[in-house]
Amino acid sequence: MYSFEDEEKRLMCEEIAHFFKEEHDLDLGIIGTGKVLEFFQEMLGDRIYNKALDDAKKFYEKYADNMETDYYALYRDVR
């Protein structure tokens, strides 16, 4: 599992605390926001990672198709 840098984790925890305060009027401390972050990382991390790989594969497949078309467009008629 990916481990976030301390500064990244701190910023995400601040965003989590802000969200819970604004949306649910809950004050989460450092431990609470850290637990929420860990929960979502464990529950969603691999799914998001796999989705990103699938999206990258689709992009590169489209790119490869275009490259093949461009390649054949360079051919010249031979008499």
pTM across the whole model? 0.67
Closest CA to 21 of 10, 32, 35: 32
pLDDT above 80: residue 1:
no
Query: What's the pLDDT at 76?
Result: 82
Query: What's the pLDDT at 6?
Result: 94
What 3-state DSSP class applies to 17? helix
- Cα–Cα distance for residue pair 63/76, rounded to 1 Å: 23
Per domain, the residue ranges of the chain are 6-73
